[in-house]
Amino acid sequence: MNEAACCCGPGYASPAEAMQAPRENVLYTIAIYTGTGIQKPDYLCTIDADPQSPTYSQVISRLEMPGIGDELHHMGWNACSSCHGDASKERRYLIVPGVRSSNLHIVDCGDDPRNPKLYKVVDGDEIKRKTNLSAPHTVHCLGSDIIISMLGDALGNAPGGYLHLNEDFEILGRWEEGMGDIKFGYDFWYQPRHNVMVSSEWAAPNTFMPGFDLEEVGHLKYGRELHFWDFEKKEPKQTFYLGEDGLIPLEVRFHHNPDSTHGFCCAALSSNIIHWWKDDDGEWQWEKIIDVANEPHPDWPIPVPGVISDILLSMDDRFLYLNNWLHGDIRQYDISDPHNPRLTGQVWMGGLLGKAPEVNGVKVTGGPQMTQLSLDGTRMYVTTSLFSTWDNQFYPEIRTNGGCMLKVNCDPVNGGMEIDPDFVVDFGNEPNGPSRCHETRYPGGDCTSDIWI
């Protein structure tokens, strides 16, 4: 495979073209020591994803961050398909934020994709000083610029806002004109042909960082709303109150087809999938389309919720994947009719229900948390860490066992899933001790990084 083909160029003209892209030969995955008791920097792992390579499914390089305690979490590319047609743009740099430090690490993957290097750091204190924002989360390319959802103000209070960087990673200020009545921030996705951005809610950094307290949900310290923005005016226009069906709405995904108005969100604590669309009168509507039932557990005073912590859509918009972090299963739904999803696949990986204590020779501690799907829809990589303090609460053995990454083979034609028996990355055996793995990116783009205009 030509490595330049996967690391250069701003993106693909269409989702259909993206599906024909060459197979990825490396993966970039976040690994953290923050919250583990090991005083070492968090780092970016490069994993060999070439089945013909002698180092297949091994960590082949580790890029340590300059400081300790960043809590690397989500990341994004400097350029994607929203830059298509602009020959001056290159998918070269990963923006790797630290939720706790608010530092933005700019990583150069272009010269040597197997050994990325740190290009620069945008200091978190500078971000706080210039914008009164902290706790960076979702990174999206915005043509030549970049916007990042920030979950708090400089003191860790909600609602935060959106940081705006130029293509040289210089701070331009806040992207939004105002937050309106929005209470919390988290994920977002924009669809420019419909002049809309949708954002979701977690909680204030001061609430979620120490750990999860169920009582704080009842005290309205966690989100339960989706917000629809006027993308051009950069201001919220409409809010959907999801109520008990939408407790802690996290990841949001529009269809990749830029003409479509259909999108989806996972409500983590309610363990529901929320679907939205624009009706024939041009009005936004929403409905609950998937409801994962709570499961009894002998050590819990209440039934255990699934906690759907991540979703993604295949590039052809046919399949929706969700994971239940506490139950331990990953599900595939055919959403050819987005109002009526059909379950077509399910595999187990960790969880609290005891259905997958060991997979591929590794004791899985944690549950399926972050997923990333190849552009052709056949390879999904799954990691197990949610957030350090939450990991410690729900899966205390993760301190000694570490996290792991597995690969799930997906059938994009007939539906179906199975765990690949030949792939496992055990982060319990890292050189500096057990670490935890979170989000994964592919050099040539993946099913959650590209937006078409």
Give yes or no for residue 76 having a pLDDT over 70: yes
Which candidate, 224, 72, 220, places its Cα nearest to that of 135?
Answer: 72
Two tokens, residue 140: 């999206």
The tally of CA atoms less than 13 A away on the side-chain side of residue 321 is: 35
When the pLDDT of each residue in the chain is averaged and rounded to a whole number, the result is 96
- Mean pLDDT across the stretch 57-83? 97
The pairing of strands 319-324 and 235-241 is unpaired
Two tokens, residue 429: 């055996």
User: What backbone torsions phi and psi does residue 112 show, to the nearest 5 degrees?
Assistant: -140, 95
Task: Name beta bridge partners: 227.
Answer: 199, 239
- Number of C-beta neighbours around residue 245 at 10 A: 16
* Model confidence pLDDT, tens digit, residues 246-304: 999 999 999 999 999 999 999 999 999 999 999 999 999 999 999 999 999 999 999 99
For 143, the 3-state DSSP assignment is: coil
For 182, the 3-state DSSP assignment is: coil
Give yes or no for residue 149 having a pLDDT over 70: yes
Residue 356's alpha-carbon distances to 62, 198, 347, 363, 370, in angstroms, are: 29, 35, 9, 8, 17
Whole-number pLDDT of residue 388: 98
- Number of C-beta neighbours around residue 450 at 10 A: 26
Reported as a pLDDT band with limits 50, 70 and 90, residue 85 is confident
Give kind and range of the element (H or E) at residue 298.
none
- Mean pLDDT across the stretch 130-142? 97
Give kind and range of the element (H or E) at residue 217.
helix 214-218
For 39, which DSSP code?
-
Give yes or no for residue 7 having a pLDDT over 90: no
- Sequence spans of domains, the chain: 3-441
DSSP string, 84-142: TT-TT--S-EEEEEBTTT--EEEEE-SS-TTS-EEEEEE-HHHHHHHHS-EEEEEEEEE
The pairing of strands 235-241 and 249-254 is unpaired
For 19, the 3-state DSSP assignment is: helix
Percent of the chain scoring above 70 in pLDDT: 98
| Residue in this structure with the two tokens 């729900």, named with its chain if needed | 394
User: How much of the chain is in helix, strand and coil states, percent to nearest 5?
Assistant: 10, 40, 50
Whole-number pLDDT of residue 428: 97
Reported as a pLDDT band with limits 50, 70 and 90, residue 34 is very high
Distance CA 308, CA 369 (A): 8
Whole-number pLDDT of residue 1: 30
Distance CA 12, CA 16 (A): 9
Radius of gyration from C-alpha coordinates of the chain:
20
User: What backbone torsions phi and psi does residue 428 show, to the nearest 5 degrees?
Assistant: -75, -10
Give kind and range of the element (H or E) at residue 404.
strand 404-410
Two tokens, residue 117: 């290097």
Which candidate, 328, 399, 402, places its Cα nearest to that of 368?
Answer: 328
Q: Are 176 and 234 in contact (CB under 8 A)?
A: yes
Give yes or no for residue 2 having a pLDDT over 60: no
| Residue in this structure with the two tokens 């994709």, named with its chain if needed | 113
Give yes or no for residue 3 having a pLDDT over 70: no
Which candidate, 250, 258, 120, places its Cα nearest to that of 188?
Answer: 250
Task: List strand residue ranges (DSSP E) for 17-69, in order.
Answer: 26-32, 43-48, 59-64
Fold classification of 3-441 (topology level)? Methylamine Dehydrogenase; Chain H (2.130.10)
* Model confidence pLDDT, tens digit, residues 207-258: 999 999 999 999 999 999 999 999 999 999 999 999 999 999 999 999 999 9
